[in-house]
Amino acid sequence: MTALQERRVGDEVLFYSGMKFVAKARILGLLHNRPLAEAVWGVDKNQNTWEHVMALGDIVELNVPAEPILRGLSVRVPLRSLTLVRAEGRRRFLNMVAPSSQPEPTRPATDPTGPEKPVALGRDDLLRALASLKTHIKEQRPSRHKPITLLWAIGRLAGGKERMVDWETFSSEVAPLLKEFGHPDSRVTPEYPFWHLRSSGLWSIEGVTERGSTPTPSQLASSHARAGLGRDAAKILRRSLARADSIGLLCSTYFDDIDRDKLLDRVGLAGYARASGEIPEGSSGAVTRSSVTSSRPDRDPRLVEHIKGMYEHECQVCGARVETRYSHYSEAAHIRGVGKPHDGPDELSNLLCLCPNHHVEFDRLAIYIDEDWTVRRNSTGNVAFELTRHADHVIDEEHVRYHRGLCGRS
């Protein structure tokens, strides 16, 4: 029943038979329609039918042994019923159930030198592609070449730089990132993401003809090859909400065990490490501290007093009220940071009254507010608290959604 109730459009469904996953599909629509279910499946001897109807698409056949994955997810083997796997669990095993667990196939019959294909890429397609990058698996860990390169490319876009770059520029900028943030035992080979990212559908290459193997650095240099985000992907990533979603998703999917603040800083996306957008100390990113400070709009101190008064300094997350000698203390937190890069508004609908601890946790993306106003811990997805909301405090759900995107929870 939990699995039935908590399904959402966009969730992935795996079909299981004979101890194997045999197909996967995506939920495109959910219906609760008894007449339709009866028409399709009839009724059983107790006049019951299967009225929770799922419309599925993007069906891919698989042949993946299920046992290691199920055991890894602490699901009883063999499976007996509909089972829900939460996003964080799914991410750990994503590469085992993606058809991409095989080595990179070479794509025949495409001409990378020709014009980009006029396939309209949507925001959901982009996020799906980012979440399921084909990566080489070594000791159960996906290589980080591609996600690092994509973050770098998003950083260029956010910094207003050119979308396509030549091989020399690419190599000089991406190689140090691969060295610093790739797996220690992974070789630094910028030609690999330069060339193979094209299979993601988000990447574009000019100047090199299709070939069976990865071109060597000297071949890329002599052919004056250029690469970068595809036009459609770049168009979507110029929008702030999709950009926040993408950065959050890449970080939570591929960079769980490295210093994400540092990586985001290196690619010029330091502001995305925090909900407030304020740049961590000692940042050397593309966004300079002075430009952040000067572009920060003035905050209205009356709003700050208003929200603190409304909640009488009680934290909306935990209910704690920090006592001082003569009064109480709380902090007003913007849900979507005002100023760069988030550009949230300074309005009551974008403010929370928090205790200092929860202010830090919210700002550093350790907790997020879910669609049902529960407060969840980002590392586990578990509910930690229920957000307190005053009847006169209308919180704009779009800002909460933006924050969830930064948390990789969109």
- Binding site residues, Zn ion, CB under 5 A: 315, 317-318, 320, 355, 358
Q: Which is nearer to Zn ion, 197 or 355 (CB)?
A: 355
In angstroms, give the least distance from the CB of 313 to Zn ion.
11
Q: Which is nearer to Zn ion, 359 or 401 (CB)?
A: 359
Residue 274's alpha-carbon distances to 35, 125, 227, 289, in angstroms, are: 49, 26, 30, 14
Burial zone of 142 (CB within 10 Å; 0-12 exposed, 13-18 middle, 19+ buried): buried
The rounded distance, in Å, linking the Cα atoms of 82 and 79 is 8
SS3 318: coil
Q: Which is nearer to Zn ion, 105 or 319 (CB)?
A: 319
Cβ neighbors of 74 (< 8 A, separation 6 or more) are none
In angstroms, give the least distance from the CB of 364 to Zn ion.
14
Q: Which is nearer to Zn ion, 200 or 330 (CB)?
A: 330
Q: Tokens representing 119?
A: 């396939």
Q: Which is nearer to Zn ion, 98 or 353 (CB)?
A: 353
Q: Which is nearer to Zn ion, 151 or 395 (CB)?
A: 395
In angstroms, give the least distance from the CB of 315 to Zn ion.
3
In angstroms, give the least distance from the CB of 337 to Zn ion.
19
Between the two ends of the chain, the Cα-to-Cα distance in Å is 24
In angstroms, give the least distance from the CB of 322 to Zn ion.
9
Cβ neighbors of 112 (< 8 A, separation 6 or more) are 198, 204, 205, 206, 208, 209, 210
Q: In what order do the strands lie in the sheet with 383-386?
A: 367-369, 374-377, 383-386
Do residues 231 and 238 touch, judged by C-beta distance below 8 A? Answer: no
In angstroms, give the least distance from the CB of 358 to Zn ion.
3
Q: Tokens representing 394?
A: 């209308």
Q: Which is nearer to Zn ion, 79 or 310 (CB)?
A: 310
Q: Which is nearer to Zn ion, 56 or 384 (CB)?
A: 384
Q: Which is nearer to Zn ion, 50 or 329 (CB)?
A: 329
In angstroms, give the least distance from the CB of 387 to Zn ion.
11
Cα-based torsion angle of the residue sequence 315, 321, 323, 329 in order, rounded to the nearest 10 degrees: 20
In angstroms, give the least distance from the CB of 116 to Zn ion.
49
Report DSSP state, residue 21: E
In angstroms, give the least distance from the CB of 302 to Zn ion.
23
In angstroms, give the least distance from the CB of 318 to Zn ion.
3
Burial zone of 331 (CB within 10 Å; 0-12 exposed, 13-18 middle, 19+ buried): buried
Q: Which is nearer to Zn ion, 292 or 315 (CB)?
A: 315
For CA atoms 15, 21, 23, 29, the dihedral sign is positive
H or E element that contains 69:
helix 67-72
Residue 304's alpha-carbon distances to 38, 69, 341, 383, in angstroms, are: 56, 48, 21, 27
